[in-house]
Amino acid sequence: MSKEPVAVVGIGQTKHVAARRDVSIAGLVREAARRALDDAELTWADIDAVVIGKAPDFFEGVMMPELYLADALGAVGKPLLRVHTAGSVGGSTALVAAGLIAARVHGTVLTCAFEKQSESNAMWGLSLPIPFQQPLLAGAGGFFAPHVRAYMRRSGAPDTIGSLVAYKDRRNALKNPFAHLHEHDITLEKVQSSPMLWDPIRYSETCPSSDGACAMVLTDRAGAARAPRPPAWMHGGAMRSEPTLFAGKDAVSPRAGKDCAADVYRQARITDPRREIDAVEMYVPFSWYEPMWLENLGFADEGEGWKLTEAGVTELDGDLPVNMSGGVLSSNPIGASGMIRFAEAALQVRGQAGEHQVEGVRRALGHAYGGGSQFFAMWLVGAEPPST
Amino acid sequence: MPEVLRAPLVVEFPFTRSLGPVQSAFLTGLRERVVLGVRTTDGRVLVPPVEYDPVTADELRDLVEVAPTGTVTTWAWNPHPRPGQPLATPFAWVLVRLDGADTSLLHVLDAPGPDSVRTGMRVRVRWAATRTGAITDIACFDPYGGAPAQPSGSTGEFADPVTGIVTPARLDYTYTPGRAQSAYLDALAEHRTVGERCPQCRKVYVPPRGACPTCGVATTEQVEVGPRGTVTTFCIVNIKARNLDIEVPYVYAHIALDGAGLALHGRIAGIPYDQVRMGLRVEPVWTEGARHPDHYRPTGEPDADYDTYRELL
Amino acid sequence: MTREIAVVAFAQTDHRRSTDDLSEVEMLMPVLHEVLDRTGLRTADIGFTCSGSSDYLAGRAFSFTLALDGVGAWPPISESHVEMDGAWALYEAWTKLLTGDADTALVYAYGKSSPGSLRDVLTRQLDPYYVAPLWPDSVALAALQAQALIDAHETDEPALAAVAARSRATDNPHAQLRGPVPHGDYVVRPLRTGDCPPIGDGAAAVILAAGDRARELCERPAWIRGIDHRIEPHSLGVRDLTDSPSTRLAAEKAGAFERPVDTAELHAPFTAQEIVLRKALRLDDTVRVNPSGGALAANPVMAAGLIRLGEAAAAIHRGEADRALAHATSGPCLQQNLVAVLEGDPR
């Protein structure tokens, strides 16, 4: 028995900002969900099940907040699942929702992800004072910066690459009304002269802390046939995990990421991702992760990813646009960030991305990762239904 | 077995919660001694008012005032009040359907004892002396013998509405690190770094976490590593971390101790920060009374060759 | 036609008040090894892994990433995690097997309630604006539900005590509370200590397999004939606490009412909740309810629901049951409920 094809027929997100002081947690998630339903021209009654994801509960100080959110999400009387796979959770959540349709358990599923970081402070949530442990010596960026240095050493990349990525993503964000950072006066010089926080990572090369939510309506073939706008079709999706820290771990290009991408490409029958994929939304919380993931995802050979960035290939008008939306560097509601990547990939193949639409995108990759570069979730969506 | 290590872990934060329109109106109303409900599209009145209809999922905005008197729909006698609960003396938890409402509000009832509480009894709001716009502006309910009180005629519109609340939350835990970590910490107290070897892949884990994460089996054989090691990679921290009394800039490094299968993290000192490099050989510097090395300093040995540590990056 | 999927192995820890000598992964790992050993599988043979746990129990963010160390996720594995009871992890794994993407799945759950004050920790599950600031603890909420049942003449205190005594009369060697247990004083009236679950630490693991793979791995697989879960409104004040419509609906969708079951494993942490569930599930006295002792004998939070599924399956594996119902719950006063119907092949 083959799987039921999965289509994205509704997408919604909030305007990501540092603090959404005008809404409750429910109001924030609801806003994205409502927009996704409106996009699909569906009502709450059309939804068979809800799958929700977010990062650690400590961020909002609500344990298993989906219990409280059931009413706002129209989930009463329905199945409601809550996923948590660290930073990759937005992607994993969408994949769990897609699985319900692929398995023919449900016809139409609402999936959403959120973070309301302004309720607390992410660094507090991430560094609870666990006794006996060495205090975290370096903050969030300090955790990743040594891996960036390892990448630079390994690839021989010039130290300007990170700034190029940040400059590109922040300019792309200007074309995305939902992006958190809209730095209208951005220049490459400004990025390059911003303070070096965790050398080799500059302030401008780090992501903001955002309140935001994202939602999608996923449906089966019959649902897609009724959709008012072109659907995005899922051609492949996979999750891979490896341990946080272990002897032999490649933190620069984790095998879990490579394996995950390989699985997605196999499902989508892609043999040359660089040629066959038209656009990528990848999870880049620090700018240097763009070249690192370009290699990890098979778009460039090992040590060569930075050359694509340097040559402008990943620009909005480049040959392989990356993070057309402005990416995580421009909006980071942590739990939702992965789903935003998935949703933005879907928007591109639907031709619905507005000002940051890339002409003629037929296949796009959405990518999310989390934990100690250990949890990966990806999907590949296309403008055409998958061939069976 | 050595004594189990344990220490208190306090998880505490004053969460700042924005309210949205309905919750803002309700909590502002409480501040003004007015109880608001919300009317659903099919005419039910929900108290406390919620933003979204639990039955239809409709967005609800039609606020309506109800009385501060009502009827207990169920109760439970709490002989031992717990920290944070509204009353410090024994009380009843109650669900109260206020006059004019179709649903019940959870709060507490101040009563002399369980024999004076029953389902169906009439109660009335006791307002807190100082009110800020919070559910605790209702101090509790009191038994009440009179007729249903009349709503004040409030429009539900208030000057200076409460748009956010701060909800402090503190949870107290007792942290115990478990067998492998305890052994590691005990050895650290003697300034020795002791990892554990995986019986299958033979890699040495420092600190040990009880399991070899790639083989999924318990690590058991204790192996002392270091004290010297190699800086595999690092960053220069230029931003002062909260609660951390270290002058910036400083170097935060991954250090592979000799004999260890992976790097641990530490600060490098005793060398100008801009002279730290991958491959630098270092050793721990201990300070009196600290459980972990304060930092690592150069040993003066020649740098390690990249190929000797590239697998540990 | 849908794929046949079965529980082929189940293991659980000996549940204890405290496992302060063990980290979470040290507590969990033996049950992972037990289900793998029982089926002869290695981690690399498993097609999908899914777990359930809660950061709030542990008092630290991303606690599930540490537990993953016990799985041996190398080479990398296809894996997911729900911040829910492990019963819902099993549900996710079941859907994964249905798609045909995997033929076997490892499901696990663990919870250490001993580090924190569970009654206080669970208050953080409640509406953060109107309810959590009052710190109503889990026993208080369950007591409101029990009183509603007493008022409705659906039970009384002696009947609740009988539920407690029957549950703890179990011969389950993993139980934390077993044998004659004094019914005790009121914790929150009308609930006495005996009406409340023991607080403790524990873990459980299950292996699922599809079709012929299940038959290879287990002499008598416990086939999942149906599984469904539903949620109710969050606020207690809008619910009828004497009923569980979400349980009834899940049971209906899972096919529980098509034919009688002989055994039921109900996740009712408080005695009065068994009364509610029996009614919703239409269980009469011919059904063996909670031969394992249920959550009143051991209640490792986040694993107790998965354990109900595991116990129901194990009864089928042992030939003690032919058609069993398993139930799991989450949230205050049975807000969210999952029902599965498991069957063994005819003997």
Chain A stretch 99-128, residues whose beta carbon is closer than 8 A to a beta carbon of chain B:
118-121, 123-124, 128
Total length of chain C:
347
Q: Do C132 and A102 touch (CB under 8 A)?
A: no
Spatial neighbors of B147 by CB under 8 A, at least 6 apart, are: none
DSSP states of B242-275: TT---PSSEEEEEEEETT-SS-EEEEE-SS-GGG
Nearest to A83 among C77, C82, C331 (CB): C82
d(CA B56, CA B82): 36
Task: Enumerate residue ranges in chain C where pLDDT < 50.
Answer: none
Phi and psi, residue C226, nearest 5°: -165, 150
* Cα Rg, chain B, nearest whole Å: 31
Q: How far is CA A160 from CA A153, A188, A203, A294, A304, in A?
A: 14, 10, 14, 17, 15
Name the residue type at position A293: W
Spell out the SS3 assignment of A244-255. Answer: CCCCCCCCCCCH
Does C243 lie in the same domain as C99?
Answer: no
Locate all alpha helices (DSSP H) within B151-272, ordered by sequence: 179-188
For tokens 């409640």, what's the residue?
C126
Q: Are A281 and A323 in contact (CB under 8 A)?
A: yes
Does C254 lie in the same domain as C161?
Answer: yes
Does C96 lie in the same domain as C55?
Answer: yes
Instruction: For residue C33, give the CATH number of its domain.
Output: 3.40.47.10
Q: How far is CA C176 from CA A161, C126, C300, in A?
A: 59, 28, 10
Neighbours, chain A (3 or more CB pairs < 8 A): B, C
Relative orientation angle of helices A289-296 and A161-173, to the nearest 10 degrees: 100
d(CA A336, CA A116): 10
Q: Do C129 and B135 touch (CB under 8 A)?
A: yes
Q: Are A134 and B265 in contact (CB under 8 A)?
A: yes
Q: Are A207 and A2 in contact (CB under 8 A)?
A: no
Segment C154-183, tens digit of pLDDT: 999 999 999 999 999 999 999 999 999 999
d(CA B181, CA B200): 20
- CATH number (3.40.47.10, 3.90.870.20, 1.10.1760.20, 2.40.240.20) of A7-120+208-226 reads 3.40.47.10
Segment B72-109, tens digit of pLDDT: 999 999 999 999 999 999 999 999 999 999 999 999 99
By DSSP bridging, strand C263-265 and strand C323-330 are parallel
CA distance B16 to chain A (A): 5
Q: Do C232 and A76 touch (CB under 8 A)?
A: yes
Domain positions in chain A: 7-120+208-226
d(CA A340, CA A328): 9
Structure tokens, C223: 């086939």
DSSP states of B80-148: S--TTSS-SS-EEEEEEEETT-SS-EEEEE--S-GGG--TT-EEEEEEPSS--SSGGGEEEEEE--SPP
Q: Are A233 and A226 in contact (CB under 8 A)?
A: no
Chain C stretch 224-243, residues whose beta carbon is closer than 8 A to a beta carbon of chain B:
233-238, 241
d(CA C97, CA A100): 11
Does C22 lie in the same domain as C55?
Answer: yes
d(CA A341, CA B285): 45
Q: Do B13 and A120 touch (CB under 8 A)?
A: yes
For residue B241, the chain A residues in CB contact (below 8 A) are 136-139
Does C274 lie in the same domain as C129?
Answer: yes
d(CA C321, CA A249): 46
Structure tokens, A109: 């599923």
Q: Do C147 and B75 touch (CB under 8 A)?
A: yes
For tokens 């099940």, what's the residue?
A49
Does C9 lie in the same domain as C145?
Answer: no
Spatial neighbors of B76 by CB under 8 A, at least 6 apart, are: B92, B93, C140, C143, C144, C146, C147, C188, C189, C190, C191
Does B50 lie at the interface with A, CB-CB under 8 angstroms? yes
pLDDT of amino acid B128: 98
Q: B281, B293, B250, B287: which is closest to B268 by C-alpha?
A: B250
Q: How far is CA C111 from the centre of its chain?
A: 12
Does C254 lie in the same domain as C163?
Answer: yes
Q: Do A26 and B235 touch (CB under 8 A)?
A: no
Q: How far is CA A44 from the centre of its chain?
A: 25
pLDDT of amino acid B239: 87
d(CA C223, CA C235): 35
DSSP states of A316-381: TTSSS-B-TT-HHHH---HHHHHHHHHHHHHHHHHT--GGGPPTT--EEEEEEEETTTTEEEEEEE
Total length of chain A:
388
Nearest to B164 among A21, A44, A197 (CB): A21
Does C59 lie in the same domain as C26?
Answer: yes
Does C54 lie in the same domain as C75?
Answer: yes
Nearest to B54 among C68, C136, C235 (CB): C235
Q: Do A246 and B278 touch (CB under 8 A)?
A: no
Does C266 lie in the same domain as C134?
Answer: yes
Q: Do C147 and B4 touch (CB under 8 A)?
A: no
Task: Enumerate residue ranges in chain B where pLDDT < 50.
Answer: none
Q: Do C186 and B77 touch (CB under 8 A)?
A: yes
Does C88 lie in the same domain as C207?
Answer: yes
8-state DSSP, B69? E
d(CA C121, CA C128): 13
Spatial neighbors of C289 by CB under 8 A, at least 6 apart, are: C263, C264, C266, C274, C278, C283
Spatial neighbors of B267 by CB under 8 A, at least 6 apart, are: A137, B246, B250, B251, B252, B253, B294, B295, B296
Q: B135, B166, B158, B173: which is closest to B63 by C-alpha?
A: B158
pLDDT of amino acid B225: 97
pLDDT of amino acid B2: 59
Buried b (16+ CB within 10 A) or exposed e, B20-49: bbbbbbbbbbbbbebbbbbbbeeebbbbbb
Segment A146-203, tens digit of pLDDT: 999 999 999 999 999 999 999 999 999 999 999 999 999 999 999 999 999 999 999 9
For tokens 């919300």, what's the residue?
B38
Indicate the burial class of A317 (C-beta count within 10 angstroms; 0-12, 13-18, 19 or more).
exposed
Q: B166, B140, B148: which is closest to B99 by C-alpha?
A: B148
**What is the number of structural domains in chain C?**
2
d(CA A291, CA A284): 10
Give the pTM.
0.98
d(CA C209, CA C213): 6
In chain B, what is the straight-line distance between the N-terminal and C-terminal CA atoms, in Å?
Answer: 35
Reduce the DSSP state of residue B233 to 3 states and report it.
Answer: strand
What is the percentage of chain A residues whose pLDDT exceeds 90?
92
d(CA A300, CA A305): 5
Does C199 lie at the interface with B, CB-CB under 8 angstroms? no
Domains defined for chain B, CATH in brackets: 10-170 (no CATH), 177-224 (no CATH), 226-313 (2.40.50)
Segment C93-126, tens digit of pLDDT: 999 999 999 999 999 999 999 999 999 999 999 9
Bridge partners (DSSP) of residue C180 are: none
d(CA C136, CA C332): 10
d(CA A254, CA A162): 20
Q: A221, A193, A191: which is closest to A204 by C-alpha?
A: A191
Spatial neighbors of A219 by CB under 8 A, at least 6 apart, are: A6, A7, A9, A40, A101, A107, A108, A109, A227, A231
Total length of chain B:
313
What residue numbers bound the domain in which C28 lies? 5-116+198-222
pLDDT of amino acid A183: 97
Segment C182-192, tens digit of pLDDT: 999 999 999 99
Does B213 lie at the interface with A, CB-CB under 8 angstroms? yes
pLDDT of amino acid C285: 94
Buried b (16+ CB within 10 A) or exposed e, C85-98: bbbbbbbbbbbbbb
d(CA B198, CA B182): 17
- Chosen from A44, A143, A149 to mutate, greatest number of chain B CBs within 10 A: A149
Does C334 lie in the same domain as C234?
Answer: yes
d(CA A26, CA A114): 10
Task: Enumerate residue ranges in chain A where pLDDT < 70.
Answer: 1, 136, 388
pLDDT of amino acid A136: 65
